[in-house]
Amino acid sequence: MLEQYGFIAILALIAAVFPFVGLAVAWLLRPKRPNPLKNSIYECGIETIGETWVQFRAQYYLFALVFVIFDIEAIFLFPFAVAFNQLTLFAVFEAILFVLILAVGLIYAWRKGALEWQ
Amino acid sequence: MSLLFLVLALLTLVMAIGTVTARNLFHAALFLVGAFFGVATIYVLLEAEFLAVSQVIIYIGAIATLIVFAIMLSRSMMGREAGGYNRYWVAAAVGVAALWSLLALLLTTVSFPVVDQPVPADAIVQIGAGLIGPYLIPFEVVSVLLVVALMGAVMIARERHRQR
Amino acid sequence: MDWSQIDLRTVGVLWNQALQNAGIAPPLLTVINWVVAAVVLLFVGLNMVIGLIWLERKIAARIQDRLGPNRVGPFGLLQTVADALKLLTKEDVTPTDADRITYNLAPALAVFHVLMTLAVIPFADGVIGADLNVGVLYIVAFGSVGSMAALMAGWASNNKYALVGGFRVVAQLLSYEIPLVFAMMIPVLAAGTMRMNGLAEAQGQFGGLGWYVWVMPCAFFIFLAATLAEGERAPFDLLEAESEIVAGFNIEYSGMKFAWFFLAFFLNSWVLSAIGTTLFLGGWQGPFVDRIPALGVVYFFAKTMVMFWVLAWIRATFPRLRIDQMMDFCWKFLVPLALVLLVGTAIILKLGLPSPFDGLALLVWNLALLIGGFWLLGKAQQRAVYASKRAFTPQLPRL
């Protein structure tokens, strides 16, 4: 099994170095004539007002939270899916119970309006 | 193999130190991602591949993103530079020292069951069968826990929403 | 000539023998093989992108009654090469106050995560970089690394459009990862393995009718919709909604760094098509593939191109959704549909029906869900339209 990850490690090394090689080649070839106006940020010609790192709405955080819950659920269900052929019908119902409890959570979030993007 | 472990562990450690020393919160979050990735590679080295991918999916894909969203949510923390210390640092240092000694004590005194056999080829099948079989109650409790976490999150976020 | 001898693995054996005869020790040989395989994989992946960009532009042009690229080279084939050279020699503008290290790291990470997913794609039986036991989850894992790249690019550019674009695209990628993961779980359920090659192998029955797309069209539909969103393609291309946020998280990127994002985007589309091919379209399965394994490569690329063509077709025809519509479609339609589908599929597969009937039962269940789901969606849409009409009914002047 570790042999497979040896290949992954080699691929990771090459795939990590390769983009920087491209950037280095571009760095050698390209012209470099910066000026303050060119380096100003592009906001459709309008000058930036205030700081860039503005405060974001709680909406993003809420969706990320709901996502975390379902991501963990999916991770728990994958070993079940792989072992599926060896399980009895009763065991399958136990896994379905797991899904249903989380479905209750989804319905709760839905009813409370947590899934509305405002 | 142990050389590989040392390199990976060192990388993880450097990332972890970066997390706590970075002056910029976003950089701290990125260092944290690096540390998570380092832990995942160590899991691979232990041939625990399912744990490794779970680590990447949950900690890098979900938790790290959640942390970044949380940083963006709290404007007061979003100044480009944030101090590394506040007035509770003594208490934090004591807590960390206590936790560290407890963990060190546990690791050195508890004798963990060791099986000197290779990792079975169908390890994931065994995990799945184990979750539905002998560990059924914890498995179902996890789902209840997740739902409770979801409900709590919805409640807190709605409170915040109403205040604004 | 014995055609069964033409096998990519035979080539591998010959190559190994040649190297061993040259006096190279086995451990070193393995490492050499890994390096060669990795370089070949990257070379194929990167060169394919040049063709893919041309292909997508051509398809979109023909669908929209235009000509598309036709000046550089025959049929405009060299247009992408010219574009790549232009981007390579273009001045690179880094905005002042950008977070330099993060800013430069983001495009590299975007390319890195797509290249890594190439490792688990089975091009033919056994022709796979690493047939991991957790193949499907490995793809999901590196997909989540991709959303980190978007987040870093958006944050580091010191531009509000980039920041909003980055956050939006991350919210989109996160949300659609849920239906994607559940849609991927259903073939895993049927095949009983997460190995990508094993999933392709499991679809070899009934001479092509064993492909999962025939027995579980609903899962394939969920997968396709989630793929469009994960690939950041229309109708889910909110990251580049020009009318709202100019160009999304990569607005401040120019030259080679922009080229990397562009490459990652197209390669990601192809990789997602390849994953769809492996999970639902039978991978390298096809007629005579058991006798001539090398044909698997042809079938695999043909099917992947069909899938890519469908993605390009959708991109060229559909208008863009609004962000709230997109989120609603994911959380209120795809996720519940995927959960119901998963539960039903698990029960049907466990009933122990004899061989062709379990497939038929699955097909009926999938079709019922698809039709029922769309009926409900239509009803909800109608209600929303009526509600908005009532809200805007003009008051008639009293006479």
Residue A19 above 70 pLDDT?
A: yes
Q: Which amino acid, one-letter code, is at C74?
A: P
Closest CA to C175 of C218, C212, C143: C143
List, in sequence order, every residue forming a beta bridge with C124; answer none if it has no partner: C127
Residue appearing with tokens 């998280």: C249
Cis peptide before C235 (omega within 30 of 0): yes
CA distance C397 to chain A (A): 34
Q: Is the pTM of this model over 0.90?
A: no
Closest CA to C3 of C284, C289, C205, C200: C289
Maximum CA pair distance of chain B?
Answer: 58
* Per-residue pLDDT at C1: 43
* Per-residue pLDDT at C397: 58
Chain A hits for B69, Cβ within 8 Å:
56, 60-61, 64
Contact between B72 and C167 using a beta-carbon 8 Å cutoff: yes
Write down which chains contact chain B via at least 3 CB pairs under 8 A. A, C
* Per-residue pLDDT at B11: 92
Query: What distances in angstroms separate CA C137 from CA C120, C218, C273, one per listed residue?
Result: 10, 21, 16
What gap in Å lies between CA A75 and CA B51, rounded to an integer? 10
CB atoms within 10 A of CB C131: 16
Chain A interface includes B92 (CB < 8 A): no
CA distance C54 to chain A (A): 21
| C241-276 burial code (b ≥16 CB/10 A, e <16) | beeebbbbbbbbbbbbbbbbbbbbbbbbbbbbbbbb
Q: What is the pLDDT along chain C (399 residues), one digit of tens a residue?
A: 455 555 556 667 777 777 777 777 777 777 887 888 888 888 888 888 888 888 888 888 888 888 878 787 788 788 888 888 888 888 777 777 777 888 888 889 989 999 889 888 888 877 787 888 888 999 999 888 888 888 888 888 777 778 888 888 888 888 899 999 999 999 998 888 888 888 888 887 777 777 888 888 899 999 999 998 888 777 777 666 666 666 677 777 878 888 888 888 888 989 999 999 999 888 888 777 777 777 888 888 888 999 999 988 888 888 888 777 888 888 888 999 999 999 998 888 888 777 778 888 888 888 888 899 889 888 888 888 777 766 666 566 555
- Pick from C101, C134, C173 the residue to mutate for testing the B interface (most B CBs within 10 Å): C134
Chain C interface includes B57 (CB < 8 A): yes
- ipTM associated with this complex: 0.86
Q: Which tokens hold the place of C157?
A: 């550019």
Q: What angle do CA C21, C27, C29 make, to 5 degrees?
A: 45
Tell me the pLDDT tens digit for each residue of B20-63: 887 777 888 889 999 999 999 999 888 888 889 999 999 988 88
What gap in Å lies between CA C263 and CA C260, rounded to an integer? 5
- Partner residue opposite A58 with nearest CB, options B44, B73, B124: B73
Contact A84, B124 (CB under 8 A): no
Chain B interface includes A71 (CB < 8 A): yes
Average pLDDT over residues A85-100: 86
Chain B hits for A57, Cβ within 8 Å:
73
CA distance B104 to chain C (A): 31
Average pLDDT over residues A22-46: 75
Helix axes C217-230, C295-317, angle to 10 degrees: 70
**Regions in chain B scoring below 50 on pLDDT:** 164
Helical residues (DSSP H) of C157-204, grouped into ranges = 160-191, 196-201
Q: Is C357 left (phi over 0), alpha (psi -120 to 50) or beta?
A: alpha
Q: Any idea how long chain B is?
A: 164
Cβ neighbors of B72 (< 8 A, separation 6 or more) are: A53, A55, A56, A60, B78, C167
Chain A interface includes C185 (CB < 8 A): yes
CA distance C30 to chain B (A): 16
Chain C hits for B33, Cβ within 8 Å:
148
Query: What distances in angstroms separate CA C5 from CA B114, C21, C61, C135, C293, one per listed residue?
Result: 47, 22, 42, 29, 9
Query: What distances in angstroms separate CA B87 from CA B77, B92, C117, C280, one per listed residue?
Result: 16, 10, 46, 57
Q: Which tokens hold the place of C22?
A: 């040259």
